[in-house]
Amino acid sequence: MAEREISQAVIGRLPRYFRYLGELKDRGVERISSQELSGMMHVTASQIRQDLNHFGGFGQQGYGYNVEYLYQEIGRILGLDKTHHLIIIGAGHLGQALANYMNFQRRGFIFTGIFDINPAIIGRRIRGIEVRPMEEMTAFIRQNNVDIAVLTIPKSEAVSVAKKLTDGGIKAIWNFAHVDLDVPEGVQVENVHLSDSLMRLSYMIGRYESQKE
């Protein structure tokens, strides 16, 4: 299949295309040209054509792209036509914020369980799901066909919990802990390093101010 050849850079841009196409679809737009999409996304029309041509035959000269088809196709490439069962490790503010983020459910990510070490939180319900003790995590993964674990715990705990998760058979970790995880081959990790992101912002402020001087 052609999609295996697609570069990481293109893949990295697909969720953004998916988001814009979803908004167009919600607004009832049926077709869109690369020029129009370019104006909305602040990406050159030639970049858009190059990116979308990877998936072959979506655009028709003079007609533009079929929004619904392209939306479905990119969704399929991103694996959003499949259901993923997701657990959250850490029921603090970040864990709760993610549990409450309804959009995930819409995309096929089913919030299945949430775990914490704090006895004061265990037993509470978050979006109807009971907070369970960490000791139950590994068995829960096996019994509930869980693919994705979301790590929202401090970095001091993250490495050992990641080990338990991978021993338990998890396929993927969405890692918010401020540490890089070493995982066995075949386990996928996507990091959200918030401090790194804030530092990039700080860099951009400084660069702009030094250019003004």
List residues near a copy of itself by CB under 8 A. Answer: 1, 4, 11-12, 14-16, 18-19, 41-42, 77-80, 82, 84, 92-94, 96-98, 100-101, 103-104, 107-109, 147-148, 171-172, 174, 178, 180, 186, 188, 190, 192-208, 210-211
Residue pair 67/24 in contact by the 8 Å Cβ criterion: yes
What whole-number distance in Å separates Cα of residue 96 and Cα of residue 60? 45
Identity of the residue, 135 or 196, whose beta carbon is nearer to a copy of itself in the bound complex: 196
Helix (H) or strand (E) holding 54: none
CB of 138 vs a copy of itself, minimal distance in Å: 20
Min dist CB 71 to a copy of itself, Å, is: 13
Choice between 94 and 122, CB closer to a copy of itself = 94
Nearer to a copy of itself, 63 or 93 (CB): 93
Q: How far is the CB of 62 from a copy of itself (least distance, A)?
A: 28
**Cα angle value 200/204/206 (rounded, 5°):** 115
| End-to-end Cα distance, the chain | 52
CB 55, CB 3: distance < 8 Å: yes
* Minimum separation from the CB atom of position 5 to a copy of itself (A): 11
Calculate the CA 68 to chain-centre distance: 21
Whole-number Å distance between alpha carbons of 133 and 45: 51
Question: Is the Cβ of residue 135 or residue 194 nearer to a copy of itself in the bound state?
Answer: 194
